[in-house]
Structure formats: C-alpha cells, structure tokens
Structure 1
C-alpha cells in the first residue's frame, strides 16, 4: 500500500491512476447512432503489423505502448488465440477503430482494447462500437455465458473515457497505481507526443 502524501516517481518513469470497472449483467441497450458507411469487421488471426499500425494510430496520443514493445511471437499468440476476438471499425475501406475482447479467463470477458482514430471520433461511433462490444461479450455463441465483463482505464487516457464506461453500464470497483517506463524515452513512441505529460 502506498502511504498518504506524495510518493516520488523515478525519472524516466510515468505513473497513472488506473480504475477497474465491471458489469455483472448486460445493461439495457442504448440506442445506436446512425453510422452510414461504417461497418464492424471481425479480423481473424490478425496480422501483428496491421494490428500495431491501428493500435498506434489510436493510442499514440494516450501513450499506449504495451502492444508496441511486446515481442512479435507473444503478440501473435494473443491475437491468434481462439478466445481472443479482434474487430476493426471500417470506414472508406480503412480500419479506423479497434475492439478487442479477451475471453481467455473462464466466465469472464475483458474489454482489452477499445478505441477510435481521430477520423472516427465525434460521430457517435464510440457508442455504436460499445453497443456491439456489450452485445458480443454477453452472447458469445457456442460458449458458456460469462458472469463478468470488465475494463480498465487510466488518467493518461482520454478524459472522457471513464465517464463513457460508466454511462455504458460499467461500475468502478478498484483503483490502482501503475508505474512504467515512459515509452517516449525507450523509443517505443516519438518524444513529441502527449505534450501535456512532461518528459522527466
């Protein structure tokens, strides 16, 4: 347990407050905003290079880096696991959003990654995508039903993320502190991104 008061974060590291949220039953479905020209495509055995490109375009501003530094074989093992599902939000023939559902733990689904590129933000696509995520998590055909659907977000993510998850039916259940190498100093991300988070 961290003591009350300030705790130093070593130079070269970042610290984030992580909130874990869960739902124990499917919520009432919210209305789908119209999404003309946008589709959701199940990407079976996603190519790691394709995945990393989309992951980078969505998450660079939020300092997403965990999947960029994961060894290729380890990433492929996750993406190709039969209990991990990857979906792409397609617009004009390009992937502009990512939904990753992880069913590897029995009775549980993790909303592992969820996000949109700048091209798809601000048009109700996030709500539309979350509706699909919730429906899929709670009604996966050919498998026992889950009892828990969960996600985590942190203070480095979009300021709208936490409220969006709560409005979607998730309830906060735990708070943690995560300390990790600043990906801009390790070379995983450019030093110029996330200017609101100073380099130390």
Structure 2
C-alpha cells in the first residue's frame, strides 16, 4: 500500500474567502433535526468512493454521540430532489470551526458544484457559526481536485504529513 499525504489547511479571516457563484437549481439546507442515521448515510453515500470506511464500523451509540452533539451542524445540498453533497461543521470552545466532512455524491462530481458548495460551507462557518478560524484536512486519497478547491477558496496549507 502506498503512503497517504494528509494536508491541513486554514482560513483566518472571512475576507480570505474567494467564493464561487451560486449554482442554479442547487439548494443547500441545514438539517436542524439531528438524526445520526442520516449523517451515517451521508458519510457512506459521499465517502464510499474516497475510502471513507473507518467510521462505518462504529456503533449506533457512537454515531449518535458524534452527530447529535450541539457543536456539530450538518448541511445537505440537493439538485432536482437528489442529494448532491453535504458538509459538517464542528465548532469548538474557541470558535474554531472544522469542516469535518465535505463532498459531493458521485453523480454530481465534475458539474461545477464543488466550488460553490465549499464557498457556502465557509460562509456558514464565518456567519452562522461565528468562526474565529476555519480549518480542514484532506488527503491524497480524496478527489484529485479537493486540495486545489480548498486553496482556490482561500485556505492556506499550514501542515502536512505522510502516513504509511
């Protein structure tokens, strides 16, 4: 098995955001009623193609504890009634917001949705979550454009490591 590079990126001010314009027909909704089974479904739906398997082995209790916390918020993107993608934002005590999970479903990759969905996620972190800092990590197993999308939106790389 080859080594995996993990990239840690951050944004320190809302003014650093270089947003993409809205995509016509794409609606993004926060899931205000928390339901761990839905978060697990989204994780599986979006992450399967990127080898997001580690959390799928967790128990219902673990998923419930993770996804139904007050400091975790989830948004889902829909296009013509279909789930196009989702993101989760985790807010810590210092108002540092981590984009825990972010991605598109396979049917919507390559259609220009990723830049806008990420822009929207960042806007929600700054405005709705009142972030003082936003950070995210991605890796070399993710979509080949993932790192470039984060950087194009204004994130800067602050750390990287290799896992063997």
Q: Deviations over 1:9-62 (max 9, x none)?
A: 7xxxx74210100011112442414322x2111113443333222222211121
Alignment counterpart, residue 46 of structure 2, candidates 35, 58, 63: 58
Alpha-carbon separation, structure 2, partners of 1:139 and 1:49? 27
2:98 corresponding residue in structure 1: 110
Q: Which residue of 1 aligns with 2:143?
A: 158
Residue 124 in 1 paired to residue 112 in 2? yes
Distance in 2 (CA, whole Å) between partners of 1:161 and 1:169 is: 13
Structure 2 residue corresponding to 1:32, chosen from 9, 13, 21: 21
| Residues 172, 129 of structure 1: alpha-carbon distance in 2 compared, 3 angstrom cutoff | same
Q: 1:77 to 1:45 in 2, by over 3 A?
A: farther
Aligned pairs (5 A) from 1:178-193: 178=163
Q: How does 1:1-200 map to 2 (within 5 A)?
A: 15-26=3-14, 27-36=16-25, 38-140=26-128, 145-178=130-163
| Aligned mates of 2:116, 2:30 — CA distance in 1 | 15
Matched positions, count: 163
- Where has structure 1 moved over 4 Å in runs of 4 or more? none
* TM-score between the two structures when normalised by the length of structure 2: 0.88
Q: Distance in 1 between matches of 2:92 and 2:60?
A: 20
Q: Which runs of 5+ in 1 are unaligned?
A: 1-8, 180-200
Unmatched runs of 5 consecutive residues or more in structure 2 = none
What is the rounded CA distance, in whole Å, between the counterparts of 2:24 and 2:163 in structure 1? 36
Distance in 2 between residues matched to 1:147 and 1:64, nearest whole Å: 28
1:187 corresponding residue in structure 2: none
SS of 1:133's equivalent? helix
